[in-house]
Amino acid sequence: MTSSTFTVDIKLPETEEVQSWGMSHSVYVPVLKPTTIDEIKKIFIYATERKLKVAFRGGGCSYGDASIIDDGIIVDMSDYNHIIDGECKDGIIKAESGVTIQKLWETAIEKGYWPPVVSGTMFPTLGGALSMNIHGKNNFCMGPIGEHIQAFTFLTPTGEILNCSKTENKDIFYSAISGLGMLGCFLEITIKLKKIHSGKLEVTPISTSNLEAMFDYFDKNYQTSDYLVGWIDAFGRGSSLGRGLIHKANYIEEGKDPHFLENRKVVNQHLPSRFFGIIPKSWMWLFMYPFSHKLGMRLVNYAKFLSGKISSKSYKQGHAEYAFLLDYVPNWKYIYKPGSMIQYQVFLPKENALNGMKDILNHCQTKGIISYLAVFKKHRKDNFLLSHSVDGFSLALDFPVSESSRNKVWELAYELDNIVIQNKGKFYFAKDSTLRPVVAEKIFTSEVIGTFKKLKDKLDPQHILLTDLYHRIFLS
Ligand SMILES: Cc1cc2nc3c(=O)[nH]c(=O)nc-3n(C[C@H](O)[C@H](O)[C@H](O)COP(=O)(O)OP(=O)(O)OC[C@H]3O[C@@H](n4cnc5c(N)ncnc54)[C@H](O)[C@@H]3O)c2cc1C
């Protein structure tokens, strides 16, 4: 096609730097911010005619290279963000895919509903959340977000708009959710939320002296918990390997909270904008910065473990505060500057999880590369094509990366991959920075990858949708 036969023209903006959330990948590309379906369609035609690659981006909260592209156009969906039906009748909300989890819960909570599945941050969009099929601290009982989606409309790169649900275009429903933004664009999404009877949760902290104790607590308590999350002190050694602090949380039953109307108000969910009434939240990471080295993090992790030993009394905590604790220190990732960070999250089936995780923690210690923040969760299987979940447990490890340590961290990740393969585990693309094709094929199987690629050929025949992650794992 020559320039005279192009049917669509768009004035591309100047290139700008776009980073992965963990700041370890950067690209310089033009970024378009459509607000309507017609604008998204136009971008597809523009890119197809000029053979350009397009990567969708929501809130940019994927830790690695999932929503960036080195050579192409980034389509930032965050301005396509209207709530179409926010009445919340029977807990159902319909929204454009650029609506964030924050806007979703803020729309719902005063009507007595809360999103059934949220990530540890409220800044992802619905489109990004579906593309990765996010899980929460309640994955063991609620499954991933995809299970709560009633329907969505989906724009394919050829310009077709498909209605998808568990019964209509079922194969696309189960593949686009978890589909890494590689099959088309989520447009309007209908989600069913969970009824709540209080703006607060009943939270109990429990210190566990090692990894066995953490597994034991999860096994004995998951059936009576609505949420469970473990923070692991990855510096603990020997008989203290995997010691940590669990936060168990439960919904408050109907009629048990006399202050429901008051504490479900959005203003009462948000934490104060200043710490101790003085320090603006946005400065808080500066106070954490002096601890951002091995010794400092050893102290911080130990203090966290001890805090649960000192007091294991239950307390009430707002839904937002419990779910999005990390958001209350805006830009906490800057403690890794001038370097960056990656997260390495593994999912191991329950029969192999304890030994596999011990091997992982021990191996990190042997190599002298220890995670500053390690999080433990329980999971169940789901039916989505590129599912990351297993009937088992996950361990998410945050590693600092500097120019001098980068190769060593990647080498460590490759070594840990072998432990995950031996234990029949899985990985999560939203967190990934290091996975190689040979490992992905072993873990997700060539059959599943083949099915996904066939669907991509059908929906995106010119292969205009691409991200650096998809290129690294599925095309290299
Ligand atoms: C502090 C922190 C805590 C987190 N905690 C959790 C957690 O507890 N559980 C969990 O599961 N995840 C967690 N995450 C990861 C995060 O939830 C996922 O990476 C999520 O996908 C981010 O959504 P996003 O809108 O930022 O999407 P992006 O990261 O911008 O993009 C993610 C994917 O979605 C695609 N995409 C975006 N919009 C569309 C669209 N409209 N149509 C089609 N494709 C689209 C992109 O191409 C990309 O492949 C956490 C991340 C952070 C930073």
**Domain segments of the chain as ranges:** 3-78+454-475, 79-195, 200-436
Confidence of residue 417 (pLDDT cuts 50, 70, 90): very high
CA atoms of 362 and 358, how far apart (whole Å): 6
Q: What's the whole-number mean pLDDT along residues 30-44? A: 98
Instruction: Tell me if 185 CB under 6 Å of ligand 1.
Output: yes
- Using CB atoms within 10 Å of the CB of residue 445, give its burial: 0 to 12 exposed, 13 to 18 middle, 19+ buried: exposed
Q: What's the whole-number mean pLDDT along residues 93-102? A: 98
Which of 63, 97, 131 to mutate for ligand 1's pocket (most ligand atoms within 8 Å of CB)? 131
Protein residue closest via CA to atom 44 of ligand 1: 181
Instruction: Tell me if 22 CB under 6 Å of ligand 1.
Output: no
165 pLDDT more than 80? yes
195 pLDDT more than 90? yes
Q: What is the pLDDT of residue 274?
A: 65
- Tell which residue, 316, 323, 320, has the closest CA to residue 271: 320
Tokens representing 213 are 């104790």
Q: What is the pLDDT of residue 329?
A: 81
Is pLDDT larger for residue 305 or for residue 252?
252
211 pLDDT more than 80? yes
Instruction: Tell me if 181 CB under 6 Å of ligand 1.
Output: yes
pLDDT in tens, 65-97: 999 999 999 999 999 999 999 999 999 999 999
Q: What's the whole-number mean pLDDT along residues 318-331? A: 89
Instruction: Tell me if 132 CB under 6 Å of ligand 1.
Output: yes
Tokens representing 143 are 């499954």
299 pLDDT more than 90? no
Of the CA atoms within 13 Å of residue 244, those in its CB half-sphere come to 28
309 pLDDT more than 80? no
Residues near 387 by beta carbon (within 8 Å), at least 6 away in sequence: 133, 144, 178, 381, 426
Of the CA atoms within 13 Å of residue 444, those in its CB half-sphere come to 24
**How remote is the C-alpha of 44 from its chain's centroid?**
26
2 pLDDT more than 70? no
Instruction: Tell me if 21 CB under 6 Å of ligand 1.
Output: yes
Q: What's the whole-number mean pLDDT along residues 428-448? A: 97
Residues near 181 by beta carbon (within 8 Å), at least 6 away in sequence: 55, 56, 66, 67, 127, 128, 131, 465, 467
Confidence of residue 120 (pLDDT cuts 50, 70, 90): very high
Count H helices, E strands: the chain? 16, 22
406 pLDDT more than 90? yes
Q: What's the whole-number mean pLDDT along residues 25-31? A: 97
How remote is the CA of residue 315 from the centroid of ligand 1, in Å? 30
Residues near 379 by beta carbon (within 8 Å), at least 6 away in sequence: 135, 139, 140, 347, 389, 390, 391, 392, 393, 394
Q: What's the whole-number mean pLDDT along residues 109-116? A: 98
Q: What's the whole-number mean pLDDT along residues 153-164? A: 98
Instruction: Tell me if 180 CB under 6 Å of ligand 1.
Output: yes
Q: What is the pLDDT of residue 89?
A: 97
Q: What's the whole-number mean pLDDT along residues 406-410? A: 98
CA of 428, closest atom in ligand 1: 11
Fold of 79-195: 3.30.465
CA of 133, closest atom in ligand 1: 11
CA atoms of 100 and 36, how far apart (whole Å): 17
CA of 55, closest atom in ligand 1: 47
pLDDT in tens, 222-262: 999 999 999 999 999 999 999 999 999 999 999 999 999 99
How remote is the CA of residue 310 from the centroid of ligand 1, in Å? 36
Q: What's the whole-number mean pLDDT along residues 204-225? A: 97
Confidence of residue 308 (pLDDT cuts 50, 70, 90): confident
Whether residue 248 contacts residue 225, with contact meaning beta carbons closer than 8 Å, is answered with yes
How remote is the CA of residue 59 from the centroid of ligand 1, in Å? 7
How remote is the CA of residue 65 from the centroid of ligand 1, in Å? 11
Which of 134, 189, 452, 468 to mutate for ligand 1's pocket (most ligand atoms within 8 Å of CB)? 134
Protein residue closest via CA to atom 34 of ligand 1: 128
Q: What's the whole-number mean pLDDT along residues 363-371? A: 97
Q: Report the chain's mean pLDDT, rounded to a whole number.
A: 94
Is pLDDT larger for residue 302 or for residue 397?
397
Q: What is the pLDDT of residue 278?
A: 63
The class level of CATH for 200-436 reads alpha beta
3-state secondary structure (DSSP) of residue 131: helix
Protein residue closest via CA to atom 14 of ligand 1: 119
Q: What is the pLDDT of residue 180?
A: 98
Instruction: Tell me if 131 CB under 6 Å of ligand 1.
Output: yes
Lowest average pLDDT, out of 192-206, 287-301, 423-437, goes to 287-301
How remote is the CA of residue 5 from the centroid of ligand 1, in Å? 37
How remote is the CA of residue 131 from the centroid of ligand 1, in Å? 7
Instruction: Tell me if 371 CB under 6 Å of ligand 1.
Output: no
Q: What is the pLDDT of residue 401?
A: 97
DSSP 8-state secondary structure symbol assigned to residue 290: G
CA dihedral 103, 109, 114, 120 (to 10 degrees): 50
Prediction pTM value = 0.96
Q: What is the pLDDT of residue 281?
A: 67
How remote is the CA of residue 62 from the centroid of ligand 1, in Å? 5
Q: What is the pLDDT of residue 306?
A: 80
Fold of 3-78+454-475: 3.30.43
282 pLDDT more than 80? no
User: Do 200-436 and 3-78+454-475 fall under one CATH topology?
Assistant: no
444 pLDDT more than 90? yes
Is pLDDT larger for residue 459 or for residue 313?
459
351 pLDDT more than 90? yes
How remote is the CA of residue 67 from the centroid of ligand 1, in Å? 8
